[in-house]
Structure 1
Amino acid sequence: MTDRASTSHAADPSLAQALRLQLQLETGHAVGLVETHISWVLLTPTLAFKLKKPVRLPFVDFSSLAARRHFCEEELRLNRVLAPDLYLDVRPVCGTSEAPCIGEEGNAANAIDYVVRMRRFPDGMLLGELLASGQLENAELDDLARTLARFHRDAPVAAVASGFGAPEGIEQRVMAALDSLAAACGPARVAALRRWVEGKVPGLRMAWLLRQRIGAVRECHGDLHLANVVRLDGRLQPFDCIEFDPALRWIDVMSDVAFLTMDLKAHGHVDLAFRFLDKYLEHSGDHEGLPVLRFYEVYRALVRAQVASLRGPSGEGKPDVEDYLLCAEDIVRRAERRPRLLITHGLSGSGKSTVAAQLLELAGAVRLRSDVERKRVFGLSALSHSADHAVDIYTPEATRRTFARLAEGARLALQAGYPVIVDATFLRHAERAAFRALAVSLQLPFAILDLHASPAQLRRRLALRQAGGLDASEAGPAVLEQQFAFQEPLDAPERAMAIGVETEMRPDAASLCALWMSRT
């Protein structure tokens, strides 16, 4: 195969077709062929072989054999972090372009090209497909959030001198996406989004610089939309990350998160986007990233709209150019709504976290949970057990530090424009007063979600929660008895701000959300 580059998407498919015929002979089965703008993927019953096109485009150069080998190896290296069981190896393509075969790993002496060899996963297992068929379990999305938070925590950090994550680069990419869409859809269609972007950029430059300096710019996935997450071996696994352009991969971790939350919204699942964000923040603690999140979501929606405009009509049920533009506009509208603060009030086991989780999905809110932040103060993960680390996380000083952390996280989220729920017992008047003062200082509405259940129900719930061992809370019967003794009931002014909830029966979360949103 001669090493000539194509400057268009119409690269010579003869090698891919010849490989397809050879694999059909070897396996005795039909072999599928899927084409993207930069690769061909051959699908046998059990394996997938990804062959990079010999193209030179503005964003990628696969024109030489050496480059294709390098980027095959990069694809394997990078994707094995998040999907180790999916990516098997890089194999040489040997023989001739008319009669090729897949060689053995490492035997590259006579290679005419290279392929990434992968396991083939069953049809219908992509995250977008699971959502469309109603097969996705919430626990799977929660696990994905935990996986991504761990991946970002362990990912290499970009040096500030690298320029990755710099404001000028972010501005350049978002404006390029807008220019491309203006050419495809007409300037008027994206004029309002352009004005919003131009209005936000000056105020975010310092935030982007700060994110660089605190190490939030890391080697991420870079292309984390719903078609690049697959259910494999019972878990959701991101795959097919950006291997060909470091600038698209070395990004703020919140840009990675924004791609997934945006695409959930574009597919009609705003509730799941906020569920995912809640779980990601629970495991990462990166509330400092909230000021840049919405901008990144709009940018990601513009990018997907741009890609859709190049690919033509989408398949049934998949977002197209207009869907992604509407998604960006909805994110902008939500950003213009007045944020508000809600704190919970109730004994352990009264249902605070359960109701708060329902409300955050309905309201598009950010939650801060004392059970999680209390452990973070001590460097523990949400599901760690403090006794295993020989620390007492319930001392007065630990409580003071916990509430200070909750207040700072709430301030960041409110100033970023999100409704905020602070999920804690708030049994002392002084604790409640501090958060009311925070809302007053920001001139925002404040309310108290006042939850009740019978003592017998409280004890029963705590016993079940402790037996399950899958919740951040460590409050048990002894803690509950202490709470009975020291709780300070709401006073008259607080009762006027309260939304009462009896949790013996399942509360109507939609009605509670409407009540909260109506408070001024």
Structure 2
Amino acid sequence: MDSARDLTLEQHRTMVAALQATLGPQTERIETHISTLLLHGGFADKLRKPLSLPFLDFASAAARRRDCEEELRLNRRTAPQLYLEVRPVRGSPEAPRIGEPDESDGAIDWLLRMRRFDNDQLLDRLATHGALADGDIDALASCVADFHTALPASPAAWGDPAGVLAWARANFAALGARAPTDLHDWTEREFERIAPLLALRRAQGFVREGHGDLHLGNIVRVDGEPLPFDGIEFNPALRHTDTMADAAFVFMDLWRHGLPRGAWRFASGYAERGGDFAGLALLPFFAVYRALVRAQVAAIRSDDDALQRDLRVAGALAHLCRPRPLLLLTCGLSGSGKSTVALELLQGLGAVRVRSDVERKRLAGLAATARPTPEQTARLYGAAMTRRTYARLGSLAGTLLAAGLNVIVDAAALRRHERDDLRALAALHGADFRLVECVAPESVLRARIARRAAAGLDASDAGQEVLSLQLRVCEIPASEEAALRLDTDADRATVARRCAALVRRL
């Protein structure tokens, strides 16, 4: 249908009603502000409404076709099993039929066909019902990090820091008098602080074509894995952003669902998986921005309860950075439970874990769970690489401390000078320092190492020989180091309770 004869909104409604009747009595119809979905059998057909709005233009069939094709392209990156094809609608508004993908002649409209999923597996519903497990959050952190890592840098036209500020200001303009003045002032100050980092990251290629709307309601668990879907296709400026703008949406929404522990678990896991620790300095700004986006949605829907909740969330997220952050070192022999303890503590304290086993392999160009050859092992665990590893731990920790974020360094740190260097780093950044020594009997350590080696899923390569060496060279923390000893010779639940008690003490 040419532009002179394109559909009106009334014709769209007529066409949709006719399609619904054709597809059968079990067909469900869902209306959104800009789309209509028809749910039938195992499929969901999405049609754009013929609208022209300030942020999109679906007035012509050609524009609606382009948007369908763009949505298919973008979302196949994260959910290829859900996004199937674009199909023409042929005939007339009164007697339409869905054609095959190659039947473009005579099309009056276009739809995107998707595979239906179980709505109860949407992550926002799982979170609301207390069914979002730690494993789901870990999988989501890996999923988002891998997605971002695989993306190429956006063209130079995208990602100007001035545009970031413009979108943030647009939230306040839309909310008007309902937006707290202190949040507006904080946003302006925080932008001034991060503007140089935004520009640097743009130059480094961290502005990429991401998802754009990555809240929990746009992520579904399918076959045990999280699948982001429904990325923004109609406005490229909303998806060509710093990758941290995407990650911060997940972080914010976990917090918004009353899961701050899960939010920190996600943020730390995301950085550990992809290596983008420096980007976490942008987390408070983008998290507040995303909370205000949700507040704007609530305002449009006249949902005052949700609006007030989202404003409270935004206010809390504006205080993520601390004037005096904490650097905590979990140290101990291989198998002593350092990584488990660090993971528990980071959730309770609101911190980011920096793990020596992971960073050592990253420096060597190896994946965290890769098993090195004997030749690689000799280099990987030699004195030179160990020095490089601890230097990297210090560099990453320093970057996070400078941003006001709590840091947990997870490393054996069996030598006194390794611990003293991190203590000095904390002092340099005006941060508090705490040392937690994880301990367990040698028989327990050896049994854990054997199980870990058999599973082959952990970043650590330390075997029985390494433990024997550590037992010979270990420099036990002296009394003046004020180490907090944590006995890990217990089941996981007991260790978690001991970590919670330690969080309260800290």
TM range (shorter): over 0.9
Q: Does 1:387 align with 2:381?
A: no
Q: Does 1:3 align with 2:2?
A: no
The structural deviation recorded for 1:336 is 4.2
SS of residue in 2 equivalent to 1:334: coil
Confirm or deny: 8 A CA contact 2:324 2:430 kept in the other structure: no
Confirm or deny: 8 A CA contact 1:5 1:56 kept in the other structure: no
Q: What does residue 274 of structure 2 align with?
A: 284
CA-atom RMSD, angstroms?
Answer: 1.7
Q: What does residue 402 of structure 1 align with?
A: 389
How many residue pairs were aligned?
497
Moved more, 151-160 or 46-55: 151-160
Q: Does 1:324 align with 2:320?
A: no
Confirm or deny: 8 A CA contact 2:122 2:219 kept in the other structure: yes
| Counterpart amino acid of residue 373 in structure 2 | A
Cα displacement string for residues 261-304 of structure 1 (whole angstroms, at most 9, x for unaligned residues): 10111111111111111211111000110111110111111111
The structural deviation recorded for 1:133 is 2.5
What is the rounded CA distance, in whole Å, between the counterparts of 1:196 and 1:336 in structure 2?
14
What is the rounded CA distance, in whole Å, between the counterparts of 2:41 and 2:257 in structure 1?
29
- Of 166, 172, 193, the match for 2:183: 193
Cα displacement string for residues 51-82 of structure 1 (whole angstroms, at most 9, x for unaligned residues): 01111111111111111000100111111111
The structural deviation recorded for 1:44 is 1.1
Counterparts of 1:232-271 in structure 2, within 5 Å, are 232-271=222-261
Structure 2: gaps spanning 5 or more residues: none
1:419/1:5 CA distance change after superposition, 3 Å: farther
Confirm or deny: 8 A CA contact 2:121 2:220 kept in the other structure: yes
Confirm or deny: 8 A CA contact 1:11 1:53 kept in the other structure: no
Q: What does residue 125 of structure 1 align with?
A: 121
- TM-score norm. by structure 2 comes to 0.95
| Counterpart amino acid of residue 280 in structure 1 | Y
The structural deviation recorded for 1:470 is 1.4
SS of residue in 1 equivalent to 2:318: helix
Confirm or deny: 8 A CA contact 1:181 1:190 kept in the other structure: no
Q: What does residue 205 of structure 1 align with?
A: 195
What is the rounded CA distance, in whole Å, between the counterparts of 1:311 and 1:109 in structure 2?
39
Confirm or deny: 8 A CA contact 2:12 2:93 kept in the other structure: no
Q: Does 1:215 align with 2:205?
A: yes
Q: What does residue 503 of structure 1 align with?
A: 488
Q: What does residue 176 of structure 1 align with?
A: 170
- TM-score norm. by structure 1 comes to 0.92
The structural deviation recorded for 1:41 is 0.9
Moved more, 463-472 or 216-225: 463-472
What is the rounded CA distance, in whole Å, between the counterparts of 2:163 and 2:484 in structure 1?
46
The structural deviation recorded for 1:139 is 1.9
What is the rounded CA distance, in whole Å, between the counterparts of 1:67 and 1:42 in structure 2?
20
What is the rounded CA distance, in whole Å, between the counterparts of 1:312 and 1:233 in structure 2?
36
Cα displacement string for residues 303-342 of structure 1 (whole angstroms, at most 9, x for unaligned residues): 111112112339xxxx821221111111112324531110
Confirm or deny: 8 A CA contact 2:34 2:51 kept in the other structure: yes
What is the rounded CA distance, in whole Å, between the counterparts of 2:227 and 2:279 in structure 1?
23
SS of residue in 2 equivalent to 1:335: coil
- Of 335, 340, 345, the match for 2:326: 340
Cα displacement string for residues 98-153 of structure 1 (whole angstroms, at most 9, x for unaligned residues): 11111101211011111100111123111111122333332232122212211111
| Counterpart amino acid of residue 72 in structure 1 | C
Structure 1: gaps spanning 5 or more residues: none
Counterparts of 1:44-443 in structure 2, within 5 Å, are 44-160=40-156, 162=157, 164-182=158-176, 186-187=177-178, 189-313=179-303, 320-336=306-322, 338-387=324-373, 390=376, 392-443=379-430
What is the rounded CA distance, in whole Å, between the counterparts of 1:384 and 1:410 in structure 2?
24
Confirm or deny: 8 A CA contact 2:330 2:341 kept in the other structure: no
What is the rounded CA distance, in whole Å, between the counterparts of 2:391 and 2:356 in structure 1?
10
1:17/1:389 CA distance change after superposition, 3 Å: farther
SS of residue in 1 equivalent to 2:118: coil
1:289/1:258 CA distance change after superposition, 3 Å: same
What's the % identity of the aligned pairs? 45
Moved more, 478-487 or 331-340: 331-340
What is the rounded CA distance, in whole Å, between the counterparts of 2:21 and 2:131 in structure 1?
35
What is the rounded CA distance, in whole Å, between the counterparts of 2:314 and 2:151 in structure 1?
28
What is the rounded CA distance, in whole Å, between the counterparts of 1:150 and 1:245 in structure 2?
23
The structural deviation recorded for 1:3 is 2.1
SS of residue in 1 equivalent to 2:246: helix
The structural deviation recorded for 1:379 is 1.2
What is the rounded CA distance, in whole Å, between the counterparts of 1:59 and 1:14 in structure 2?
25
